[in-house]
Amino acid sequence: MDELKIDELKDIIARSKRIVFFGGAGVSTASGIPDFRSEDGLYAKEGMDAETILSATYFALHTAEFYDFYRKYMVHPEAEPNTVHRWLYELEKEDRLRGIVTQNIDGLHKIAGNKRVYELHGSIYRNYCVNCETSYPLEKIMGEGIPRCDKCGGIIKPEVVLYGEPLDKYTMIGACREISNADTMIVAGTSLAVEPAASLLEYFDGKNLIVINKEATPADDAATLLIHGDVEETVKKLMY
């Protein structure tokens, strides 16, 4: 890894007052959660049409099969925050990190202690009855078959955004506000392949756009600092 780029990143962070971190699946791989689109990711598994299974239509028509897949591949309650999550918590305590905009549903940023988190695609830890909207914790859906509401018997759905569903309006408003006010934006661990989340970068008009990812992204050409590498390894060099 280019040490000059690490030094430049340290300098940018030290001078920044309003940082926004925009993260994807590559942020949580060090916690044992597989990513999606890398050569070893979830979508690369032979015979697995994950985007179909994780769609609103599939949930409605094949709820039991959806839950079999969801519990096996999408839920990782044993995962713990890694170096990246802990670093971001320290930045927030210093009041220089103004927001985390994440595409992940694992909840690890909040578990690490961060408060200013915009979970674009929801969280595995929030679930609700599709009929009466009663809320349930993760444990309620972790049995077998289709989880049902204790009050009305309705189907319980994870509060995660499936393919074909819109993002939560208020989460989007908050994320756009923080991005538009940021002086530095760090985009890390994401291929920027999922819309409309990827388009949020258009709201950034600050000085420093930093991109950290193993593979190329659509934002590479616009980056003021580009690091092709692992997110956690990069952060470790910043911290130690």
The residues assigned a catalytic role are 121
Amino acid at 61: L
**Residue located via tokens 């759905």:** 157
Size of the chain, expressed as the number of residues it contains: 240
Backbone angles phi, psi at 172, to 5 degrees: -65, -45
Strands across the sheet with 225-227, in order? Answer: 117-119, 97-102, 19-23, 184-188, 208-212, 225-227
Q: Point out which residues pair with 99 in neighbouring strands.
A: 20
d(CA 112, CA 8): 26
Q: What is residue 124's three-state secondary structure?
A: strand
What is the full DSSP assignment across 154-205?
PBEEEEE--BT-PPPHHHHHHHHHHHHH-SEEEEES----STTGGGGGGG--
d(CA 238, CA 180): 25
For residues 99 and 93, the answer to whether their CB atoms sit within 8 Å is: no
